[in-house]
């Protein structure tokens, strides 16, 4: 288990001091995939580097498996770092080495005999799906293949923890999806605890169990991905999850409602059922929903008819059937800004 207690990190420069982390506390349980999300400059990359002491916190405690990292000697810290793999956005492969030798590199540093290191590297190449690339060089690989090599290298020392710092930011959507599936498979098959740093909520809801939201050097929210996605509490989470929706100002004179999907079955036709049961036509202004394990999360903005009685029929149906919704008031630009749901 990883425990961060009241972590602060301050840098000094010519202009004074810059605080990258301010009183950050969180716990990552064994075997989970934990996400840390935030906009650029939020402090998330600094935080993940504090875990293995690549960055030494100015104050606070980093406790891994019951041991406080600050109190470890050099040899103990080196041993700890061997138990924590790390992959980066830029891959960080050695261009003059083949794929096989890149994976063998940390094993060579650890003094593992060459035959044993090669055998281990080949097993990892099979795990990441690159058995035919062991004699290739990084320059001959695609971005996705490079990241798979980097993942294999990070796993060479059989780490208990894997830190992923924006590991998919440089990849296209299809490759990102395949890399995330690989990380999830590694978590399930090997039991490796994974910490994912990203600015993309799509990465979080694809593979993570829990997420911490960071903004301006502090953690503003921590919770299960499904809960944070469906009911974001902090302004940062709302910006990341619920985009600001601009609706044409030509749409006037009708009430608008926002339906919040909070884990309902993805197969329940909420809008169709509402129209059929109430007999009221509805105009869909905006929809953003996602399927997570067969359940729907997200939001839907509907425009009601000008007839107030028709609008009441719709609300009555939603209330009776326990559908989360809120009435949006104000101008057109207010749509999407409402984050709370009632019903």
151 — alpha (psi -120 to 50), left (phi > 0) or beta? alpha
Mean pLDDT within 206-227: 91
pLDDT at 160: 95
CATH superfamily membership of 242-334? ACT domain (3.30.70.260)
pLDDT at 194: 96
Q: Cβ contacts of residue 127 below 8 Å, gap of 6+? A: 152, 155, 186
Tell whether the model's pLDDT for residue 136 goes beyond 90.
yes
Q: Where do the CATH 3.40.50.300 domains begin and end in the chain?
A: 2-235
Which pLDDT band, with edges at 50, 70 and 90, does 91 fall under? confident
Is 4 within 8 Å of 24 (Cβ atoms)? yes
Which pLDDT band, with edges at 50, 70 and 90, does 218 fall under? very high
| Angle of the 143-154 helix axis to the 99-109 helix axis, nearest 10 | 20
157-176 tens-digit pLDDT:
999 999 999 988 888 889 99
pLDDT at 20: 92
Is 50 within 8 Å of 62 (Cβ atoms)? yes
Of the candidates 306, 304, 324, 322, the residue with the CA atom closest to the CA atom of residue 314: 304
Tell whether the model's pLDDT for residue 126 goes beyond 60.
yes
pTM metric for this prediction: 0.77
pLDDT at 329: 55
pLDDT at 189: 92
291-338 tens-digit pLDDT:
766 677 677 888 888 888 888 888 898 888 888 787 875 433 344 333
Q: What kind of architecture, by CATH, is found in domain 2-235?
A: 3-Layer(aba) Sandwich (3.40)
Q: How many Å apart are CA 300 and CA 325, to the nearest integer?
A: 9
Q: Residue holding tokens 């399930």?
A: 188
pLDDT at 302: 87
Percent of the chain whose pLDDT exceeds 90: 50
- The 8-class DSSP code of residue 41 comes to T
pLDDT at 264: 64
Which pLDDT band, with edges at 50, 70 and 90, does 12 fall under? confident
Q: Where do the CATH 3.30.70.260 domains begin and end in the chain?
A: 242-334
pLDDT at 262: 65
pLDDT at 331: 39
Is 273 within 8 Å of 283 (Cβ atoms)? no
Q: Torsion over CA of 298, 285, 237 and 221, rounded to 10 degrees?
A: -50
């Amino acid at each position: 288990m990883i425990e961060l207690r009241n972590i602060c990190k301050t840098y000094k420069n010519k202009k004074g001091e810059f605080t990258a982390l301010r009183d950050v506390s969180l716990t990552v349980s064994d075997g989970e995939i934990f996400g840390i999300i935030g906009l650029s400059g939020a402090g998330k990359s600094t935080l993940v580097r504090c875990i293995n002491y690549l960055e030494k916190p100015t104050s606070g405690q980093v406790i891994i498996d019951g041991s406080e990292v600050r109190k470890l000697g050099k040899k103990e810290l080196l041993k700890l770092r061997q138990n924590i793999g790390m992959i980066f956005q830029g891959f960080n492969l050695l261009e003059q080495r083949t794929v096989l030798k890149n994976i063998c590199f940390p094993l060579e540093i650890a003094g593992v005999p060459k035959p044993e290191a090669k055998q281990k590297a080949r097993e990892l190449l099979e795990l990441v799906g690159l058995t035919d690339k062991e004699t290739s060089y990084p320059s001959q690989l695609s971005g996705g293949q490079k990241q798979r090599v980097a993942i294999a290298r990070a796993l060479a020392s059989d780490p208990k923890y894997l830190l992923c710092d924006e590991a998919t930011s440089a990849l296209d959507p299809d490759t990102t999806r395949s890399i995330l599936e690989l990380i999830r498979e590694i978590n399930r098959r090997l039991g490796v605890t994974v910490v994912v740093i990203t600015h993309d909520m799509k990465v979080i809801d694809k593979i993570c169990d829990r997420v911490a939201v960071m903004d301006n050097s502090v953690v503003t929210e921590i919770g299960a991905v499904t809960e944070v996605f469906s009911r974001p509490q902090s302004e940062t989470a709302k910006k990341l999850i619920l985009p600001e929706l601009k609706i044409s100002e030509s749409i006037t004179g009708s009430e608008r409602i926002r339906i919040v999907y909070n884990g309902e079955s993805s197969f329940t036709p909420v809008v169709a059922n509402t129209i059929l049961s109430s007999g009221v036509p509805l105009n869909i202004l905006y929809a953003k929903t996602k399927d997570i394990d067969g359940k729907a999360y997200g939001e839907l903005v509907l425009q009601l008819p000008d007839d107030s009685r028709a609008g009441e029929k719709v609300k009555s149906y939603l209330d009776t059937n326990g559908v989360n919704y809120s009435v949006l008031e104000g101008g057109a630009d207010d749509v999407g800004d409402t984050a709370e749901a009632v019903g």
